[in-house]
Amino acid sequence: MKTKKVTFEGSMTALVTPFKAGKVDFKTLQKLIDFQIENGTDVLIPCGTTGESATLSHDEHRSVMSFVVDYARGRVPVVCGAGSNNTAEALGLIKHAKKIKADGVLVVTPYYNKPTQEGLYRHYEYLAANGEIPIILYNVPGRTGVSMSPQTAARLAKLPEVVAIKEASGSLDQVDQIRELCDLTIISGDDALTLPMIAIGARGVISVAANVVPDKVKSLVEAGLRGQFDEGRRIHRELYELNKVLFIETNPIPVKTALGLMKMITPEVRLPLCEMKPENTARLKQVLKKLGVLS
């Protein structure tokens, strides 16, 4: 499959998965999708870390993927989270994404089993050869316990199915090295680093904050991609406190709490995650009020 013409860039939202009484709340998910599209989000990303993929059953995971693709109705691209530390299991999710005509898949590095760089390469090579859908690599060592090296990213960039990498290592040096070694599209995986990463060549962000303020994240990314860095710095500073408080506890606890305060979802998370500490909720409220999203 020749897919290098496929590009994903701009403001891309890592969607939360709303729950109600322990079940996926599809009615609310529909409202969240409309909210994102109406506020300029370029790409929807269901079933990632922010979507609590780790505690979705396989049936739920597939159902959420299908629902988002169906309800988006081609209004924006949908890239489905389809990663696993079990290569065969990841392929099953990828094949489902292909079947439902998702625009691509986001595939995290295998967590817990800590593969070598050669193991990482073979994992993605196998998925690319058998999945036949555009793949965004996802490097987030703080979550997975393993970091993809720039050299491995460059090797994988030669595969026609591999179209981008979501870089959430927190390292601008990592981004520079990938840029030096290959022309793979780089996407920020850290809201606080979106503007600096765009300044050195990234093409957008897969954002947690965009669940709350999709219009502002869109404006930040557009300013950066146009080279309007004075405007970009203004929005970056405006979002600074939000980007900090959304990670004061484990993602997606704060962002779901924020959406709950905004009366957009029931802020349920699944164990082993739990509700936000009261003092942190109070701090989050202050930030949301300052941004004008809470009265």
99, part of any domain: yes
6 falls in which pLDDT band (50, 70, 90)? low
Give the range of the structural domain holding residue 105, as residue numbers without chain letter. 10-228
Q: Which residues contact 103 (CB under 8 A, 6 or more apart)?
A: 6, 8, 43, 77, 78, 79, 134
pLDDT in tens, 15-61: 999 999 999 999 999 999 999 999 999 999 999 999 999 999 999 99
Classify residue 155: in a domain, yes or no. yes
DSSP-assigned letter for residue 111: P
The answer to whether residue 289 is domain-embedded is: no
Q: Assess whether 121 carries a catalytic annotation.
A: no
Instruction: Give 218-270 pLDDT, tens digit per residue.
Output: 999 999 999 999 999 999 999 999 999 999 999 999 999 999 999 999 999 99
Residue 243 within any structural domain of the chain: no
At 7, the pLDDT band (50, 70, 90 cuts) reads confident
3-state secondary structure of 237: helix
| Residue 228: DSSP 8-state | -
Q: Which are the contacts of 174, defined by CB distance < 8 A and separation ≥ 6?
A: 139, 150, 167
137-152: per-residue pLDDT in tens? Answer: 999 999 999 999 999 9
Give the domain CATH number at 43: 3.20.20.70
pLDDT score recorded for residue 295: 81
- Among the options 138, 216, 218, 256, which is catalytic? 138
Residue 282 within a domain? no
Beta carbons within 10 angstroms of residue 281's beta carbon: 21
Which has the closest alpha carbon to 205: 2, 13, 21? 13
Sign, Cα dihedral of 69, 266, 217, 292: positive
The owner of tokens 């600096």 is 196
Q: Are strands 162-167 and 135-139 parallel, antiparallel or unpaired?
A: parallel
Cβ–Cβ contacts within 10 Å for residue 64, how many?
A: 24
Q: Which of 124, 166, 216, 256 is catalytic?
A: 166
Query: What are the φ/ψ torsions at residue 233 (nearest 5 degrees)?
Result: -65, -35
138 is known as an active-site residue: yes
Tally the residues of the chain: 295
Which three-class secondary structure state does DSSP give residue 248?
Answer: coil
* pLDDT (average), residues 286-291: 97
Would you give the distance in Å from CA 144 to the centre of its chain?
15
Q: Is residue 242 part of a domain?
A: no
Domain assignment present for 58 = yes
Domain total of the chain: 1
